[in-house]
């Protein structure tokens, strides 16, 4: 009887693991467009295509309500412009944007600020606000005993690394006075660092030295040797570079979640639907394998973005990162 019980127990544990696994890939829900589907239609499109993770760049009651019971895990952003109001007490923010929806809406991370950069004129004034706002939201979550179920982080990007962050093992943060306390917070609360990783922009900025095949995961051999690791694609090199930087800042056990990664289909150098299809297809496959530094450990990754966004500012390519067209047609045949 005990042997039969053990087999039954193992079976149910295995089935539980299968049914609760979310996979490693989600999609960012950007809303900079005047021709996008409604928020309810967007959530329905996630469901219909088996997309089990979403990033939402600002709290929206409509989307948070639509996600209830969907089993879609969520990164919920605190926009940069809201950081100042959350310096000392974020209880009201959590009461408004988290408590009414969780756990029916599966909020997994709160991203406090996006790509705040000491060297960027448009965001440098937010630098001093990020870490205090993270602490404030964490304290507010403890009021509702949610601090272990919802992790607080921030979304950063590769521009915060030093200019000589090559090969990956040489990577380090430019401004440790900014990132040091953030990494310390993440280590203390066992939360990951969210990082936007874009081989496209790295390639666009240096087409002379970066082969297109290295950026698109199609190189036939190792391109960068960084003993003891070899890199055949730029994405895993960039992820491991961030791991090295985080370790040097005191976060040896802090994990990396790729909160954005994508390739445009128009509007820039090598921006074609063919390249976009190649990038997204290979990315979805590659993140399941881990990286040379973290082999076998899936890289939780969010594709950018769900739709082309026709009112997004910046270079023309910024409006063409969607994996769907605004009319809900698939741009690429991806399996999430």
What's the CA gap between 45 and 3, in Å, rounded? 45
| Given the residues 39, 73, 115, 300, the one annotated as active site | 115
- Tokens representing 270? 């090598």
**C-beta of residue 90 within 8 angstroms of C-beta of residue 140:** yes
**C-beta of residue 63 within 8 angstroms of C-beta of residue 70:** no
Long-range Cβ pairs for the range 67-72 (8 Å, 24+): 67/43, 67/101, 67/105, 67/106, 68/101, 68/104, 68/105, 69/104, 70/43, 70/46, 70/105, 70/106, 71/106, 72/43, 72/46, 72/47, 72/106
Active site residue 260: yes
Estimate the crossing angle of helix 234-248 against helix 273-286, to 10 degrees.
50
**Segments in the chain forming alpha helices (H):** 2-20, 39-48, 61-66, 91-97, 127-143, 176-189, 199-205, 212-215, 234-248, 273-286
Active site residue 286: no
**C-beta of residue 277 within 8 angstroms of C-beta of residue 284:** no
- Residue 145 burial by CB count (10 A; 0-12/13-18/19+): exposed, middle or buried? exposed
| Given the residues 135, 260, 300, 309, the one annotated as active site | 260
What's the CA gap between 168 and 273, in Å, rounded? 29
Altogether, the residues listed in the chain come to a count of 336
The phi and psi torsions of 247 (rounded to 5 degrees) equal -60, -45
**How does DSSP classify residue 192?**
P
Among the listed residues 232, 238, 234, 137, the one whose alpha carbon sits nearest the alpha carbon of residue 196: 238
- Tokens representing 256? 């990396």
Residue 54 CB: number of other CB atoms within 10 A? 24
Q: Which residues are catalytic?
A: 115, 260
């Amino acid at each position: 009887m005990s042997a039969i019980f053990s087999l039954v127990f193992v079976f149910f544990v295995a089935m539980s693991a299968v049914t609760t696994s979310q996979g490693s890939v989600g999609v960012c829900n950007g809303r900079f467009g005047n021709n996008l589907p409604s928020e309810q239609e967007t959530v329905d499109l996630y469901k219909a295509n088996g997309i089990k993770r979403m990033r939402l760049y600002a709290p929206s009651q409509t989307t948070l309500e639509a996600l209830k019971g969907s089993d879609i895990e969520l990164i919920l952003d605190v926009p940069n412009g809201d950081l100042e109001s959350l310096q000392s007490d974020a209880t009201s923010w959590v009461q408004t944007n988290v408590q009414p929806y969780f756990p029916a809406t599966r909020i997994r991370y709160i991203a406090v600020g996006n790509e705040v950069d000491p060297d960027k004129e448009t965001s440098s004034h937010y630098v001093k606000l990020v870490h205090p706002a993270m602490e404030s939201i964490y304290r507010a979550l403890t009021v509702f005993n949610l601090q272990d179920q919802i992790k607080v982080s921030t979304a950063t990007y590769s521009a915060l690394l030093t200019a000589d962050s090559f090969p990956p093992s040489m990577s380090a943060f430019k401004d440790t006075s900014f990132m040091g306390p953030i990494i310390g917070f993440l280590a203390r609360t066992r939360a990951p660092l969210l990082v936007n990783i874009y081989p496209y922009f790295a390639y666009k900025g240096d087409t002379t030295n970066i082969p297109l095949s290295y950026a698109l995961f199609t190189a036939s051999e190792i391109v960068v040797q960084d003993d003891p690791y070899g890199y055949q694609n730029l994405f895993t090199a960039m992820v491991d570079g961030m791991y090295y930087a985080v370790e040097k800042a005191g976060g040896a056990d802090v994990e990396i979640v790729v909160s954005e990664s994508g390739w445009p289909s128009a509007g820039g150098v090598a921006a074609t639907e063919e390249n976009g299809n190649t990038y997204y297809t290979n990315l979805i496959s590659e993140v399941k394998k881990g990286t040379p530094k973290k082999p076998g450990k899936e890289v939780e990754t969010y594709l950018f973005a769900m739709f082309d966004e026709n009112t997004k500012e910046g270079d023309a390519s910024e409006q063409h990162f969607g994996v769907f067209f605004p009319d809900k047609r698939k741009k690429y045949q991806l399996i999430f």
